[in-house]
C-alpha cells in the first residue's frame, strides 16, 4: 500500500509548500511500542530534577531558534511576521512557570495524622500520552500539554496539524539535543480525526491519555474513537466568545481592545471575541470608535512587518466566513466597515478576508450563534445588564467571555452569572503564564494550564503504612 501524502498549502498564496508521509498501520504500532518502552525507562530512571533540567535546556534551544521558527510559522499558517515570534516567547514563559511550580505540584500529599500510621497520596505518571494539537497557536497549544506530561514522567506522541507539521519535528529534535532519552518524544503525521491512522493511535491500549485541541467536529471524532475503552480524553474546542460593553466605559480604549480581541490572528482563535453586546445608550458612539480603529489596520502580505492581518487558513475557511457575512446582510444586518485602502485591494492569490463590522445583528443569524473563526465584529445593542447576560449565555459554547466597565464590584457579580469557563473584566483573552482555560458546554472539558492542569497527566496512588505491632 502506498503511504498517504500530507501536503501543506500556504494560506498566503495557496501553493503547496511541504509534503509529509503518513505512517502505515505497522509503522504506527511500532512507534507506539517504542513509546511504551521509553516510558518505562524515563519514568523510573529520570527523577523530577533531571526532567526539569532537560526541559530548561530545551527551552534555551527553542529560544535560540526563535526567528527562524517565527518565519516558518508565518509561511505555514499566515500570521503576520510582526507577531509570530511573540507566540514562541510566550510559550517559553508558560514553560518556565510550569517548571517553577512543578516541585510543589508533584510533592506527596500527606494524609490525616493517626498514631501508628503513615498515609500519603502520590502522583505517578500515566504512560504514553497522545497530544493532537491545532495550527492556530501551535507552540502555545503544544506546551500546555507537553511540558506537564514530560515533567510528570510520561512519554509523549505528537500528532500535529497538517498545516503546521514542522512544529512536532522541531520539538523532537530540540528535546533530543537537550538530553531527553530516545523515543520519549515521538510524532507522526496524518490528516483529520476521521482518518484511519489517528484513530488507531486513539484506540491503542498503549495510549493512556489523549489531549486534543481543535474544532468541535474534531473533538467529537476523538471522543467517539476513544469511547470503546476507559481512557481520559481532554478536549479544548471552539468558542463563540461574547463581550459586553457597559455604558460607563472609555469608548476609544474599549474599541481598540475589542478590535484586537476580535481580529488578532485574523480572528482565528477559540478565544476570539465573536459577539459584542453594547448598552443602547452608547452603541452608536461605540461603533464609530471601532470604525476609527479599523481605519488604522493593514491587511496584506504577512511578511510585511507593518501588516496587522494576514490571510485566513484556507479557501474553505474563507468561504465559510464570507457566507456567514452574506447571510447576515441578507437577513437585515448592515456592513459598516470603514473605508480602508488595504481592505479593498486584497492580494490576489491568498485566502484574504477583509475585516467586517456588522450592526443590526440578532440571534437568528449564524454570525451570532455559530463559530466564525474569522475577522468579523458583529455588534448588537442591548437595553441593560440583564439582557446582555441572557444573550451572552444564549450559546452552545462557553469558553471565554468579557465584561467592560468601570464598576468592578458589579462586574464581579455579573461574572457569576456568565456561563463560560473563563471570564475577563476589562480585557480580552491574554496568555498569562498561570491562566487556566476550561471549556464549558460544547467548548470542551478539562483544564489545559496552571497548577490544576498537571492533574490529568498523573494518576493518584494512596499509600497507607501501619506500624508493625510490637
Q: Which of 22, 236, 257, 274 is catalytic?
A: 236
How far CA 393 is from CA of 131, 200, 245, 298, 403, in Å, comes to 31, 37, 15, 33, 13
- Which residues sit opposite 387 in a β-bridge? none
- Considering the candidates 22, 87, 211, 270, report the single residue annotated as catalytic: 270
**Residue 229 · residue 390 · CB < 8 Å:** no
Q: Is 236 a catalytic residue?
A: yes
Give one word for 24, left, alpha or beta, with left for phi > 0 and alpha for psi -120 to 50. beta
Contacts of 357 (CB under 8 A, 6+ apart): 287, 290, 291, 294, 335, 336, 337, 338, 377, 379
Active site residue 95: no
Residues carrying an active site annotation = 236, 270
Amino acid at each position: 500500500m502506498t503511504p498517504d501524502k500530507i501536503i501543506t498549502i500556504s494560506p498566503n498564496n495557496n501553493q503547496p509548500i511541504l509534503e509529509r508521509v503518513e505512517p502505515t498501520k505497522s509503522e504506527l504500532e511500532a512507534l507506539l511500542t517504542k513509546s511504551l518502552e521509553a516510558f518505562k525507562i524515563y519514568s523510573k530512571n529520570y527523577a523530577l530534577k533531571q526532567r526539569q533540567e532537560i526541559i530548561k535546556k530545551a527551552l534555551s534551544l527553542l529560544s535560540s531558534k526563535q526567528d527562524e521558527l517565527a518565519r516558518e510559522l508565518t509561511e505555514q499558517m499566515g500570521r503576520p511576521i510582526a507577531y509570530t515570534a511573540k507566540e514562541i516567547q510566550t510559550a517559553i514563559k508558560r514553560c518556565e512557570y510550569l517548571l517553577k511550580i512543578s516541585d510543589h505540584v508533584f510533592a506527596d500529599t500527606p494524609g490525616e495524622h493517626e498514631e501508628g500510621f503513615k498515609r500519603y497520596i502520590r502522583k505517578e505518571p500515566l504512560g504514553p500520552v497522545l497530544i493532537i494539537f491545532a495550527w492556530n497557536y501551535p507552540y502555545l497549544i503544544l506546551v500546555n500539554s507537553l511540558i506537564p506530561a514530560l515533567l510528570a514522567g510520561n512519554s509523549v506522541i505528537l500528532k500535529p496539524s497538517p498545516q503546521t507539521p514542522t512544529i512536532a519535528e522541531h520539538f523532537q529534535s530540540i528535546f533530543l539535543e537537550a538530553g531527553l532519552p530516545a523515543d520519549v518524544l515521538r510524532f507522526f503525521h496524518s490528516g483529520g480525526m476521521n482518518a484511519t491512522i489517528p484513530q488507531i493511535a486513539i484506540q491503542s491500549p498503549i495510549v493512556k491519555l489523549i489531549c486534543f485541541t481543535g474544532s468541535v467536529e474534531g473533538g467529537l471524532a476523538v471522543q467517539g474513537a476513544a469511547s470503546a475503552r476507559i481512557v481520559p480524553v481532554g478536549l479544548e474546542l471552539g468558542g463563540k466568545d461574547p463581550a459586553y460593553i457597559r455604558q460607563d466605559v472609555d469608548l476609544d480604549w474599549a474599541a481598540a481592545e475589542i478590535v484586537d480581541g476580535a481580529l488578532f490572528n485574523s480572528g482565528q482563535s477559540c478565544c476570539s471575541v465573536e459577539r459584542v453586546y453594547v448598552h443602547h445608550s452608547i452603541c452608536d458612539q461605540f461603533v464609530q470608535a471601532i470604525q476609527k480603529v479599523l481605519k488604522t489596520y493593514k491587511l496584506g502580505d504577512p511578511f510585511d512587518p507593518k501588516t496587522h492581518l494576514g490571510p485566513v487558513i484556507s479557501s474553505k475557511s474563507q468561504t465559510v466566513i464570507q457566507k456567514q457575512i452574506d447571510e447576515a446582510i441578507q437577513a437585515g444586518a448592515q456592513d459598516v466597515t470603514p473605508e480602508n485602502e488595504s481592505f479593498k485591494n486584497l492580494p490576489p492569490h491568498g485566502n484574504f478576508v477583509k475585516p467586517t463590522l456588522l450592526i443590526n445583528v440578532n440571534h437568528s443569524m449564524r454570525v451570532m450563534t455559530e463559530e466564525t473563526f474569522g475577522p468579523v465584529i458583529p455588534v448588537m445593542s442591548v437595553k441593560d445588564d440583564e439582557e446582555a447576560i441572557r444573550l451572552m449565555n444564549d450559546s452552545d459554547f462557553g469558553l471565554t467571555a468579557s465584561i467592560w466597565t468601570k464598576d468592578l464590584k458589579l462586574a464581579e457579580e455579573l461574572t457569576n452569572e456568565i456561563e463560560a469557563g473563563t471570564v475577563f473584566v476589562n480585557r480580552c483573552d491574554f496568555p498569562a503564564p498561570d491562566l487556566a482555560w476550561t471549556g464549558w458546554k460544547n467548548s470542551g472539558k478539562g483544564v489545559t494550564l496552571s497548577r490544576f492542569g498537571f492533574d490529568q497527566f498523573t494518576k493518584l496512588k494512596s499509600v497507607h503504612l501501619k506500624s508493625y505491632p510490637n
